[in-house]
Structure 1
Amino acid sequence: MHQRQLFLNHLAQTSDFPLALEIEKAEGIWLYSPDGKAYMDLISGIGVSNVGHRHPKVVQAIKHQVDHYLHTLVYGEYVQAPQVLLAQALVETLAAYHTPSGYAIDNVYLTNSGTEAVEGAMKLAKRFTGRTEIISCFNAYHGSTQGALSLAGADFFKRQFRPLLPDIRHIHHGVLADLSNITRRTAAVVIEVISAESGIRVPSQEYLQALRDRCTETGTLLIFDEIQTGFGRTGSFWAFEQFGVVPDVLLSAKGMGGGMPIGAFMAPQPLMAVFKNNPILGHITTFGGHPVSAAASLATLRTIQEENLCASVAAKAELFKKYLVHPRIKEIRNQGLMMAVEFADFGELKAIIDHGIENGVVTDWFLFCDNSMRIAPPLTITEDEIRQACDVILRAIEAV
C-alpha cells in the first residue's frame, strides 16, 4: 500500500478530510514531499517551529543529548542537566518581572505538552487557593484533555464529552464589565494574553491591568496561557511583556521545543511548593521534561536570543500587511507574526487555502473564527519569502 492509504487505514483520524500531505523532509520554512514538491509553511506546524524546521542548533542539541542519555527516571527525582539548564534559562527570561505579591516566577514544572501545562496549572490553583471555581474565556481553546477541555469557551467541542469538570465559568475576553464575575470563590482565571483561536483579538492594556487588579483584589491566581504567544511569536519573548501586566502562573509549549514535544507551567516557588505535601507527589509525570526535548528547548530559547529574532518580528508583520492588499480581504489583525486575514466567509477562505496549498503555501483557519486565515510563519522567514508567499495567496484569491 502507499503511505497515504496506510495513513488513512491505521492512524486514528480527527476529521473526514485530513490534509494528507506526505512530508519527507523539512528545513527552515519549507516542507518537502517525496516527489520533491516544496511547501512554504506559513503556520509553523501551528505555532511550533518558531525558529524554523530543523534549525541546525536545535538538531545539534538533540544529537548531543541522544549520545548521553534518554529517559532515566520520572520527572523531578534525578538531577538532569537539560532540565536544570532549561529551567534556569526560562527563569532568566522572567527575572525582570514580579507578581503583585513581590514574588519572582522562579519555578518551572516541565510537561509533555500545552494541555498538560494547563492541567498542572489548574491543579496548582485549586491546591494553593483551596477554591474550586476556575474562569476562562468564551471562544478560547486551552487543550483537549478533560480538564483543559472544560475551560474551552465553545460548547461545540465539549457537548459530547460531558460531564466535564464542574465549577467552570466563562467571561468575554477584553470586556471590562465581565471582570465582576471574578470573586473570592475563584481559584484562577486562565486566559490567553492574545485571544488566538477567536481570530487574533488583542486586548487593551487597560483591560489586562484591570484583570490583574481584580485577581489581586480577590486572591485569585492569574494564569496567562502563552502556549501560542510565547517564545517570540508576538515580537517579545513573552507577549505579556508588551502590556506590563505580570501573571501569577505562566504557561508555555508549542514554539518552546523547536519541533520537539514539551510544555511548562511556571510560578513562584511558594506556589509550586504546595505539590510537595498533602499529598506528597501532588503532581507527577513520567516523561515531562524529557531530556532530549529539554535540550531542544534550551537550544531554541538561546537561538531566539542569540539571533535576536524578536527584533525583526514587527517589521516582517508589516511586510505581510503591505503585500496582502486585496478588495476581498476585509481586515488583517495581528500581534507580531501572529496574524488573522479576514475574508467574507468560510467557503471563500477554504477555497483560497486549498488553492494556496496546491501552489505550495500552507495556511489554515481558526477554531472559532473560520472566515480568517491563520498566518504564523517561522520567525526566520525572509523578506523575499514573505513576498513570495503573499504572491501565492493573492493569486489564490483571484483564482477563487
Structure 2
Amino acid sequence: MNNRQLFLNHVGQTSEAPLALEIVKAEGSKLFDTAGKEYIDLIGGISVCNVGHRHPKVIEAIKKQLEDYLHIMVYGELVQSPQVQYATMLTQYLPASLNAVFFTASGSEATEGAMKLAKRCSGRTQIISFKNSYHGSTQGALSIMGDEYWRNAFRPLLPDTMQLNYNSFEDLENITERTACVIAETVQAEAGVLVPKNNWLKTLREKCTATGTLLVLDEIQCGFGRNGTLWAFEQFNVVPDILLLGKALGGGMPLGAFIADKKIMDSLSHNPVLGHINTFGGHPVCCAAGLAAFKVLLDEKLIDGVKGKEDLFVKLLSQGSDGFKPSRPITVRSCGLMIAIEFENFETNKEIIDELILQGVFTDWFLFASNCLRIVPPLVISEEEIRRACSAISNIFINIKP
C-alpha cells in the first residue's frame, strides 16, 4: 500500500478531499514531490516559512541544539538558553511595554494563554472579537472565531463573548468597563486580506484605553515582515497590550507566543500558582530555529524587498503585463506579501487552484473567503518565480468562462 493510501487510512483528516500531494523535499520557495515535480510555493506553510524552506542557518541552529539537549522540563521551570536568547531578542525589537514572552507550542495556544491572562489581570470576563476573524481551532479560540459555520457543531463554547464588525466605528461602542480584552487580527487574513481603514485600529486602541480593556493584536499570520514591516501594528501607530505570535516565529518549527508587559504577565504566577503551564512551549530546538530565522530575516534585510514584490504581484495580476491582458477585471487585495485574488465564486477559484497545482504552482483558498486565492509565499520568493506564478494564474483565468 502506498503512502497516499496510508495517509488516507491512518492520518486524521481535516476534509473529505485533501490535496494529498506527497512532498519529499522543500528548498527556498520550492516544493518537490515523489516524481521530482517542482512547485512554486505560494503558501509558505501559510505564513510559516518567511525566510524560505530549510534556510541553511536555521538547519545549522537546529543541528547545534540537537547536540546539547531536547526536552528537559516543562516550560518556565529551568533556564534554557534558546528560550532566554530568543525572548530577549524579540523584546529588543518590540515596544518597551511588550517585554515578557510566554512561549507556547502553537498560535492557538498563544490565543488561549492571552485570553486567560486578560481575564486574570483584569478581573473581567467578557471577550470581544470580530466577524471573519481566525485565532485558532481549540475550544477557547473557537469561541471567538468569526464565523458560525465553523463553530456551531462544537457548542457549547465559552460564554460571555461578543463579535463585532471589523472596520466598524459604531460597533466599538460595545466595548465597556466589563470587557476583559478585545482580540483582533492587525490585518484580517482568512477574511481575504482586510486592512484597517480610516484610523479604525487607532480608534479601537483609544476605546480600549478609555475603558481599561486590554487590546490583544493577533499577528500570528502577519508578523515577521509579512505585511511589509516587522510587525504589522507599526503601520497603524498602535501598540497592543498583548501580542500574539506563531507560524513564522519558529522558522519552520512549531512555536507560538503571547507577549505582554511583565507586570501583566506576572499575574499568571500566583493565585493560583502555575496559572498557565505548557509542556512543550518554547521547546529548545524550536526556539533555536526561530532565533536563527529571526536573525536571517533581519540580517538579510528580507523585509526591504516585500513592498517591491507585492507591487510586482499586483501589477502582473491586475494591470496586465508580460503579454497578458485580462479579458475581465481581477480584484486583488494586498498588504505586503499577503495577497488575495478575488474571483466570482468558490467554484471558479477551486478550478484555478487545481489547474495551478497541475502546472506546478501551489496555493489554496481562504477560510472565510473561499472565492479568494491565497498568495502568502516565502519572503525570499524571486522575481522570476513571481512572474512564472502570475503568468500561470492569468493564463488559466482567461481560459475559464465567467
* TM-score normalised by length of structure 1: 0.97
Distance 1:182 1:318, change over 3 A: same
CA shift for structure 1 position 241: 0.6
> Is there any run of 5+ residues in structure 2 with no aligned partner, and where?
319-325
> CA contact under 8 A between 2:317 and 2:330: conserved in structure 1?
no
Distance 1:7 1:184, change over 3 A: same
SS of 1:324's equivalent? helix
CA shift for structure 1 position 374: 0.7
| Aligned with residue 279 of structure 1, among 258, 272, 297 | 272
Asked if 1:360 corresponds to 2:360, the answer is: yes
> CA contact under 8 A between 2:327 and 2:398: conserved in structure 1?
no
The C-alpha deviation readout for 1:53-102, integer Å capped at 9, x for no partner, is 101111111111011100010001111110000000110110xx35xxxx
Name the CA distance, whole Å, in 2 between partners of 1:315 and 1:268.
Answer: 35
CA shift for structure 1 position 333: 0.6
> CA contact under 8 A between 1:205 and 1:243: conserved in structure 2?
no
CA shift for structure 1 position 330: 3.2
> CA contact under 8 A between 1:50 and 1:379: conserved in structure 2?
yes
Q: 2:120: which partner in 1?
A: 127
> CA contact under 8 A between 1:329 and 1:341: conserved in structure 2?
no
5 Å-filtered alignment, 1:1-400, equals: 1-94=1-94, 97-98=95-96, 104-204=97-197, 206-325=199-318, 326-400=326-400
Name the CA distance, whole Å, in 1 between partners of 2:41 and 2:252.
Answer: 13
The C-alpha deviation readout for 1:244-278, integer Å capped at 9, x for no partner, is 10000000001111110000000000000101110
Equivalent residue letter for 1:31: L
> CA contact under 8 A between 1:328 and 1:344: conserved in structure 2?
no
CA shift for structure 1 position 205: 5.2
Name the CA distance, whole Å, in 2 between partners of 1:330 and 1:277.
Answer: 54
The C-alpha deviation readout for 1:121-178, integer Å capped at 9, x for no partner, is 0000000000000000001111000000000111101111000000000111111111
Q: 1:101: which partner in 2?
A: none
SS of 2:108's equivalent? helix
Name the CA distance, whole Å, in 1 between partners of 2:333 and 2:398.
Answer: 21
Name the CA distance, whole Å, in 2 between partners of 1:328 and 1:223.
Answer: 40
Equivalent residue letter for 1:324: L
CA shift for structure 1 position 391: 1.1
Equivalent residue letter for 2:358: E
> CA contact under 8 A between 1:329 and 1:343: conserved in structure 2?
no
Name the CA distance, whole Å, in 2 between partners of 1:367 and 1:130.
Answer: 33
Q: 2:322: which partner in 1?
A: none
RMSD: 0.9
> CA contact under 8 A between 1:329 and 1:342: conserved in structure 2?
no
- Give the total of aligned pairs: 393
Distance 1:303 1:329, change over 3 A: farther
SS of 1:250's equivalent? strand
SS of 1:109's equivalent? strand
CA shift for structure 1 position 380: 0.3
> CA contact under 8 A between 2:126 and 2:180: conserved in structure 1?
yes
Name the CA distance, whole Å, in 2 between partners of 1:112 and 1:174.
Answer: 31
CA shift for structure 1 position 328: 4.0
CA shift for structure 1 position 242: 0.8
> CA contact under 8 A between 1:140 and 1:197: conserved in structure 2?
yes
| Runs of 4+ with >4 A deviation | none
Name the CA distance, whole Å, in 1 between partners of 2:165 and 2:327.
Answer: 31
> Is there any run of 5+ residues in structure 1 with no aligned partner, and where?
99-103
Percent of residue pairs identical: 55
CA shift for structure 1 position 316: 0.3
Equivalent residue letter for 1:14: T
